[in-house]
Amino acid sequence: MVPSFDYKFIRDNADQLLENAVNRNVHNAQPHRVGKLYDEYRALVTESNTHRSMLNDVSKKMATVAKARSKTADFQSEMTKLREQAKQSKQTIQTIKDKLHDVEERLRYEAAKIPNLSHPDTPVGDESKARVVCVNGNLHTTDRVPLDDSGKLSDVEFQDHYDLALKLGIVDMEAGAKVAGSRFHYWRGAGALLELALVQYAMTRAVAAGFTPHITPDAARSSIIDACGFRPRSHSEEEQLGSEAKHVGEASQIYRMSPVAEESSKEHAADPLCLVATAEIPLVAMKQKQILDSTVLPMRLAGLSHCFRAEAGARGRDTRGIYRLHQFTKVELVTLAHPDNSESELFRLVEFQKSLFADLGLTFRVLQMPTFELGASAYQKFDIEAWMPGRKSWGEISSASNCTDYQARRLGIRVRTDGGSNSTMFVHTLNATAVAVPRLVVALLESFQRPDGHVVIPTVLRPWMMGMEALAPYK
């Protein structure tokens, strides 16, 4: 699968693209180098076409000489001369072809390092520059556990989610560590039901909002993951980068698979399987190399998958309990939209997310994320953070991004336009988290705890909790 980069646009807007990359804390993008390589590529194409034209002329002369064989005294000499010219032209064309291949490879490699453009309203800088769009709820103004739904407060301080989870007996991190390593877990009893309830809640609401439900593969080829903006970096690449790693973006969060049956497979070596970090990857890739009819847009998809993340660099309290795990369950929303409508689709996704979390009864805020937080693919991004009173801080539970044509160019997803049957343009892709289970469980446990150690289950989840209205301390 060959990405379709707009090299002319990159060359003509190199200054803007370089400034944008620096604003996004990406320091290995070289748009000016892409421009020079593109000019070199075009010059080679022109030179190749010139020699092909010369070869055609020689071929025509050879045909003419061959027809006039009986009338030409030095026929053999003339044909030998023309054959030599044809041979030289073919050799030159092959040499140029080899150079073209090399330049194309370098062009694609350098172009792939350039991040998407950023929305004009996006704050420039690191996470501290995030702009608060709105706040829903008031639990962040409370420092004591409520007695009940009336709003009356007890004298009990909020407990951390992990302390609660252990007392409730709903999660087993020790068993997870013994079986798979640190930051893997087992849901147990009501904890397992709570995960299933959150998935059912999200999927039911998503289907009602027009999303088609999917259960996706938990793996994808490295090229697919790379095309979606999640670069799988190999161990050898990490070693090669060394001290320069900080200048090429964050370390890869992707797990690469090594199936024993495929270890000697050329296909596996060239494009190995990786575990997906989000269902966004297989959902978007479903439509790779397709030209869609405009009538099917917007195409709204909901995907359930396990997500796998190395979480390199995570430290401190973020690694305690289930806040940051290597494997978790998530329902992801993806929209394929016409370029004219992608901005309004992003706000539609955010409004849907807000309705999900409001109906759960959470206190949350919506943030417009700054340039450092956009990753490679996002043009604009909003995060939603829930107030987690046990942690005494806001914690991310969801995000929504408009990736414009970044992923579609790399995956070859187009839509027919009104310009005729052969007129197409790249679609825009958007993604949004409906439910990332562990983070929501953290927010629910800490938000709805009671002084006696019980945790109230939100009403909207109770249809899937087998009659339970609250989680009770484990005996």
Q: Which residues pair with 402 in a beta bridge?
A: 380, 430
pLDDT at 268: 57
Q: Which amino acid is at 358?
A: A
For residue 117, what is the DSSP state? P
Picking from 366, 440, 361, the residue whose alpha carbon sits closest to that of residue 400 is 366
Instruction: Give CA–CA dist 425/272, Å, rounded.
Output: 30
Picking from 427, 404, 438, 367, the residue whose alpha carbon sits closest to that of residue 171 is 438
Instruction: Give CA–CA dist 248/28, Å, rounded.
Output: 5
At residue 387, φ and ψ (nearest 5 deg) are: -75, 125
Q: What string of pLDDT tens digits covers the 475 residues of the chain? A: 677 899 999 999 999 999 999 999 999 999 999 999 999 999 999 999 998 988 888 888 888 777 776 555 677 777 788 888 888 889 999 999 999 999 999 999 999 999 999 999 999 999 999 999 999 999 999 989 998 887 789 999 999 999 999 999 999 999 999 999 999 999 999 999 999 999 999 999 999 999 999 999 999 999 999 999 987 644 444 444 444 444 444 457 899 987 665 555 555 567 889 999 999 999 999 999 999 999 999 999 999 999 999 875 556 667 789 999 999 999 999 999 999 999 999 999 999 999 999 999 999 999 999 999 999 999 999 999 999 999 999 999 999 999 999 999 999 999 998 766 689 999 999 999 999 999 999 999 999 999 999 999 999 999 999 999 999 998 7
pLDDT at 266: 58
For helices 342-359 and 190-208, the axis angle rounded to 10 degrees is: 140
The reply to whether the predicted model has a pTM over 0.75 is yes
Cis peptide before 298 (omega within 30 of 0): yes
Instruction: Give CA–CA dist 29/34, Å, rounded.
Output: 9
Task: State pLDDT tens for residues 274-299.
Answer: 999 999 999 999 999 999 999 999 99
